[in-house]
C-alpha cells in the first residue's frame, strides 16, 4: 500500500508543478517577455535607420570627418595607362576591374585588392612585397596571390598580373588608386 501512496503523491506534485508553471508563464507574457516586435515595448531598428542617424549626427553635431587633399598617383610604367581612379577617400566604393593576360594592375599607395576570379601573381619593382592582410603574410614578387584575400599596397609601383600560362583574365575588386597597364 505504501507504493500506491508514493506514486499518487509523486503524480500530485508533478501535476501541481505543471499548473503553477503555466500560471507563471501567463503572467510573464503580460510583462513583455512575449510581446510583439515593433511595439512600444519592443521597438525594431533597422541598419539603414542607424546609418541615417549616424550621418545626421556627424553632419549636424559639429564634428565633421576630415579628408586629406587629393594627390595624383603616377607609378612608373612602360605602357600607357588604360584606367586610373582617384586616391583613397573614406567611404570610397569598390570597383570591379578586369585584367586581361599580359596586363598588370598597378596599385597606388594605400590601395587594396581582392582577387575574385583567375590566378594572379604579385608584381613588385623592388625587393619588398605586398601585405596579405587575410593570411598575415608578406607576398614577394612572383608569388601567387591567393583568391579572396585582402591585399594591401602601401606604396606605388606594386601590383598583380595574370599568372603565366593562364588564358583567362582576372576579376579584381579594387579600392583606391590604380593603373591598368
Query: Which DSSP state fits 84?
Result: B
Q: What are phi and psi of 50, to 5 degrees?
A: -65, -45
* Residue 27 confidence (pLDDT): 57
Burial class (CB in 10 A: 0-12, 13-18, 19+), 145: buried
pTM of the model: 0.49
* Residue 155 confidence (pLDDT): 83
* Residue 73 confidence (pLDDT): 47
HSE, CB side, 13 Å, CA atoms: give it for residue 39: 7
Q: What confidence tens digit (pLDDT) does each residue in 107-119 have?
A: 888 889 999 988 9
Cell of 125: 619593382
Answer positive or negative: Cα dihedral of 125, 128, 130, 135: positive
d(CA 49, CA 26): 34
* Residue 136 confidence (pLDDT): 86
d(CA 118, CA 173): 12
Cell of 85: 581612379
- Helix (DSSP H) and strand (DSSP E) numbers for the chain: 2, 11
Q: What are phi and psi of 25, to 5 degrees?
A: -65, -40
* Residue 70 confidence (pLDDT): 47
* Residue 76 confidence (pLDDT): 47
- State the pairing for strand pair 130-132/150-153: antiparallel
Q: Count CB-CB contacts under 10 A for residue 86.
A: 13
* Residue 61 confidence (pLDDT): 57
Spans in the chain with pLDDT lower than 50: 63-80, 82-89
Amino acid at each position: 500500500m505504501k507504493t500506491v501512496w508514493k506514486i499518487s503523491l509523486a503524480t500530485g506534485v508533478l501535476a501541481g508543478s505543471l499548473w503553477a508553471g503555466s500560471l507563471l508563464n501567463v503572467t510573464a507574457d503580460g510583462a513583455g517577455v512575449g510581446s510583439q516586435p515593433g511595439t512600444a515595448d519592443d521597438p525594431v531598428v533597422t541598419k539603414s535607420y542607424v546609418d541615417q542617424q549616424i550621418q545626421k549626427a556627424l553632419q549636424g553635431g559639429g564634428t565633421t570627418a576630415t579628408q586629406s587633399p587629393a594627390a595624383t598617383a603616377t607609378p612608373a610604367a612602360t605602357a600607357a595607362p588604360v584606367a586610373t581612379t582617384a586616391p583613397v577617400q573614406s567611404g570610397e566604393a569598390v570597383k570591379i576591374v578586369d585584367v586581361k593576360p599580359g596586363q598588370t594592375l598597378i596599385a597606388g599607395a594605400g590601395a587594396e585588392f581582392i582577387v575574385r576570379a583567375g590566378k594572379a601573381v604579385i608584381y613588385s619593382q623592388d625587393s619588398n612585397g605586398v601585405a596579405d592582410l587575410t593570411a598575415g603574410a608578406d607576398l614577394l614578387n612572383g608569388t601567387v596571390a591567393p583568391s579572396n584575400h585582402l591585399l594591401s599596397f602601401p606604396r606605388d609601383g606594386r601590383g598583380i598580373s595574370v599568372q603565366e600560362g593562364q588564358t583567362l583574365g582576372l576579376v579584381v575588386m579594387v579600392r583606391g588608386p590604380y593603373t591598368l597597364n
